[in-house]
Chain A
Amino acid sequence: MTASAWEPVIGLEVHVQLGTASKAFSGSSTRFGAEPNSLTDPTVLGLPGSLPVFNRQALEHALLLGLATRCRIRRESRFARKHYFYPDLPKGYQISQYDEPLCEGGAIELSVGGAQHSVRLTRIHLEEDAGKSIHQPGATSLLDLNRAGVPLCEVVSEPDIRSAEEAAEYMRALHQLVRYLGISDGDMEKGQLRCDANVSVRPRGQSALGTRTELKNINSFRFVQKAIEHEIARQIRVLESGGRIVQETRLWDADAGLSRSMRSKEEAEDYRYFPDPDLPVLVVDDELFEAMRQRLPELPMARYRRYVDAWGLAADDARVLTGERSLSDFFDAAVAAYGDAAGAKPLANWIQSELLRELNRDVRAVDACPIAPAQLAALVRLVDQGAVSGKIAKQVFGEMYRTGAAPEAIIEREGLTQISDEAALEGIARSVIEANPGQAAGYRSGKTKLIGFFVGQVMKQTGGQANPQLVNQVLERLLAG
């Protein structure tokens, strides 16, 4: 059988670190990159006698994610203890959710090759992160418990994904979503988004699922696709050579570009889940539910459709402008300030060609952009009204970006107002024609391309402020006369 005779079936389990100020069950900070073991307290260290108290901000974050993915929200969910021994798990159990998770069902929307897909979710539950083991050469290992207790949402998908590319797209959509919701930076390199993939293959047309393997330790967007492609190819190779797939957990080694078996199903641990008696039932009352619904922003997919369907933007432009919420917010605010959907296209062009170039050059976030959306809208209006030429507008834009000043003020200060006064331009044009009789004669004898020379002279004399179309018209009329 060829590769296309096999259909991959993929489900993802993604851990999202929630960007709360303090840990899931205690007051220590969640800062990244702090001195090892400096962000700890009795609860994080699992000291005897310490107790967990749940961080309400983490609940709010998880609720936003659940609402954004249209999950059923359990009004009373429960924390459970998941037991296993490992040095970076201070209590010998992880506080997680088991049979009564906060969110169930729901879906994540994504587009693959222009087509809209919906990947169903099984559940989203809350849990705490473990610390980090740092294995040294030789027999020693070091522990950093700064990460221990950081709140996580585990987002579990149904096995709805059919290609490695789609899996990568799912990760990008989830990344975009958590950033829109402001619940996580979603930085995979910092471990804020971590992906485990359940992968199986089956002969195309078969409905029964093949034996799956779980792929762990996929820690960049690039590796999501690569690791899954690799695993699909490995499974097909095994099956085509008459072997069978063993249900096991495999660890992705990004450096080697391959996965290694970590443990088989027979070695799977019994986590001895039971409800955590230290934590009361997690209640989502109507007030909180409504407050979170109100806080839910318009989601990227909805904005994308609005840009394309209502504002007539090209798909690629809409994708760029919805990539980050801050950019989309900027764009929306600029269009609103412009006051007419007709401003969407020129504003989209300005943002993509001018604004992003400047911001990217300075490695500056949209939030830190010196130009306010309303100022950009004002600039576009000035161009529409013919108050400044497109060329001058770019000059004004540069000044706006440097100083943060309003375009009107810059135009006023620099005397950049476009000269659209036909009488004034006629005077200048006449003097230019008189000063260049040779060229005028040439034009009149048929060398009409010389019009460019005259336009240039007028522009030069007006310091570039003349309305070029008008100059053209005036010169044509005078030279013809």
Chain B
Amino acid sequence: MPAPIQLSAVEQARQIKARRLSARALTEAHLARIEAIDARIGAFLRVDAAGALARADAIDAAIARGEDPGPLAGVPIALKDILVTQGLETTAGSRILAGWVPPYDGTAVARLRAAGAIVLGKLNLDEFAMGSSNENSAFGPCRNPWDLTRVPGGSSGGSAAAVVSFQCAAALGTDTGGSIRQPAAFCGIVGVKPTYGRVSRYGVIAFASSLDQVGPMARTVEDAALLLEIIAGRDPHDATSIDAPVPAYRDAVTSQASVRGLTIGLPDEYFAGGADPEVLAAVEEAVRVYQRLGAEIVRVSLPHTAHALPTYYLLAPAEASSNLARYDGVRYGQRQAQPGTSLLDMYRETRGAGFGTEVKRRIMLGTFALRSGYYDAYYAKAQKVRALIHRDFERAFERVDLLLSPTTPTAAFALGEKTQNPLDMYRGDIFTLGCNLAGLPGMNVPCGFTGAGLPVGMQLLARPLDEVTMLRAAAAYEREAGTLDERGVPVRQPPGLPAPAEVSL
């Protein structure tokens, strides 16, 4: 018998609604798990035990009254600490926001709560989501549960690490250039970056507004589909949210999910992109699984792929330099100034002390790119290249239903391995950036392990708003590859951690 915390979120909700498991017991089991292992991993920045237990009791009481608390009834989840939570400190992994307790919930968070989810706490991340290893967190790194000497990926590293080590049933992350998919790949979980505008950004601390998107991180495709179904949809608080009906994502991934008749494209540029042979081998094996399942596999070209990285590193820092202007020490967060300090010095000292190195680097890059007289050469030109990259995808999707590639060039790297070389770190995102620049939905699906036992992930990309096809293909692979048991428990789990304890009702 697996422990309840190993079950999928869907299965946890089912057992709670059937009263085979109480929300309180499940929450306590997760809190105990966090207590037992997170000191070694560092996934949580903040655990709200009291809030979670109070909410669990409310869910149990509602169920006892015969009410339906929603599709995630009593399921303990956790949130990347870039999602604003009412009454619960939110820092974006930055010293400059330390101590800030928001007066409101973001839309995705509010929707999860309304669906019955229990928020256990806030998860580690690279400061303001800027990074690919979680090493840029102002509050210490997070470690990869598969190998504690390695990074969990970033920026949603804490989310991926917490989910795979059963510290929460599922989590929300954000993805600006791969920040959901890359840590999902490094930690061996499912991570979905929805179409830009599919999920509201209200209450998501902005990094790069035209690229940021919230998405679910889970151990099963069905869990991810359920979470997406809950958080997706038009929000009057976000003018960029799309007013399109939300499909029943969860229904799309049931056992009937099939890829027969689908055409899956393999972008030449992503396979010739210098990926590690072990990663390529695992992804090519996944391609053969799809062939076996009846999908047609074709090769496609995304000719502007090489320009994605420089384009991204102009646009994202430019937007970031603007979005981070509000951290001035005036209204909230940390202020570094003694009475009598001049206004300019207050700004300098607050921002100097409050921001970390990578954040400062990107603010400077972005400020440079937006300078009067340089706008056309940098920002405007990058927007033109972005349009070309977008067109590459449009053309490819005239021929194919999905694109498949490695999510990352390598499996998880060691802590400290790339911190001295930002460009090397940036290059790790080459397969994920295009998806954000084009506003497409994309996801990571675990597809095997390296010889050293590190997870490998494949990336699926779909047409705008066609998450259904993407999730269906992911579910078909997951079933065929047999990565889960019949209760949704991953067959292979991080070694070296204590076994999740049994919990009874």
Contact = CB atoms under 8 A, between A and B. Distances in A.
Interface residues of A, number: 31
B236 A87 contact: no
Contacts of A52: 239
Interface string A38-52: 000010011111111
Contact of A49 (B202, B236, B328, B339): B202
Contacts of A143: 330
B245 interface: no
B154 interface: no
Contact of B104 (A47, A54, A139): A47
A270 B368 CA distance: 11
A145 to B, nearest CB: 8
A452 interface: no
26 contacts: A42-B103, A47-B104, A48-B92, A48-B100, A49-B205, A53-B236, A53-B237, A83-B325, A83-B370, A85-B325, A91-B325, A92-B327, A93-B325, A139-B340, A272-B321, A272-B322, A272-B371, A273-B372, A273-B375, A274-B318, A274-B322, A274-B370, A274-B379, A277-B240, A277-B319, A279-B239
B90 interface: yes
Interface string B203-229: 111101110000000000000000000
Contact-residue bracket for chain B: 35 or more
Contacts of B205: 48-49
A278 B239 contact: yes
Contacts of B103: 42, 47
Contacts of B321: 272
A280 interface: yes
Q: Which of B201, B237, B327 counts the most chain A CB atoms within 10 A?
A: B237
Given A90-B331, A277-B319, A279-B239, A48 B97 contact: yes
Given A51-B239, A93-B325, A139-B340, A46 B201 contact: no
Contact of B90 (A48, A83, A270): A48
A53 B243 CA distance: 14
Contacts of A274: 318, 322, 370, 375, 379
B378 to A, nearest CB: 10
Interface in B75-120: 83-84, 90, 92, 97, 100, 102-104, 106
Interface string A8-48: 00000000000000000000000000000000001001111
B372 A50 contact: no
A45 B203 CA distance: 13
Contacts of B340: 139
Contacts of B319: 277
Given A85-B328, A278-B209, A51 B370 contact: no
B457 to A, nearest CB: 28
Q: Which of A53, A54, A273 counts the most chain B CB atoms within 10 A?
A: A53
A50 to B, nearest CB: 7
Overall SS of chain A's interface: loop
Interface string A419-437: 0000000000000000000
Contacts of B209: 277-278
Contact of B203 (A46, A49, A139, A271): A49
A212 interface: no
B65 interface: no
Nearest to B330: A87
Interface string A272-315: 11100111100000000000000000000000000000000000
A230 B442 CA distance: 64
Contacts of B97: 48
Interface in A307-348: none
Contacts of B206: 48-49, 278
B332 A47 contact: yes
Contacts of A272: 321-322, 367, 370-372
A-B interface, 8 closest residue pairs, ranked by CB to CB distance from nearest:
A92-B325, A277-B210, A272-B370, A277-B209, A49-B84, A48-B205, A49-B203, A46-B326
Interface in B323-369: 324-328, 330-332, 339-340, 343, 347, 367
A280 B328 contact: no
Interface of A: 42, 45-54, 81, 83, 85, 87, 90-93, 139-140, 143, 270-274, 277-280
Given A48-B84, A52-B239, A87-B328, 4 more contacts: A140-B339, A143-B330, A272-B322, A278-B240
B266 to A, nearest CB: 32
Contacts of B285: none
Contacts of B367: 272
Q: Which of A42, A45, A48, A140 counts the most chain B CB atoms within 10 A?
A: A48
Given A272-B367, A279-B239, A280-B239, A45 B347 contact: no
A57 B50 CA distance: 44
A42 B86 CA distance: 12
A273 B371 CA distance: 8
B102 A49 contact: yes
Interface string B369-390: 0111001000100000000000
B502 interface: no
A174 B84 CA distance: 44
A79 B487 CA distance: 50
Contacts of B328: 85, 87, 92
Interface string B229-252: 000000011111000000000000
Q: Which of A49, A85, A140, A272 counts the most chain B CB atoms within 10 A?
A: A49
B162 to A, nearest CB: 21
Nearest to B367: A272
Q: Which of A51, A139, A278 counts the most chain B CB atoms within 10 A?
A: A51
Given A272-B367, A273-B375, A85 B239 contact: no
A168 B343 CA distance: 36
Given A139-B340, A272-B367, A93 B239 contact: no
B201 A51 contact: yes
A286 B321 CA distance: 37
Nearest to A268: B372
A46 B209 CA distance: 15
Contact of B339 (A50, A90, A139): A139
A93 to B, nearest CB: 6
Contacts of A81: 322
Nearest to A271: B372
A81 B201 CA distance: 18
Contacts of B84: 47-49
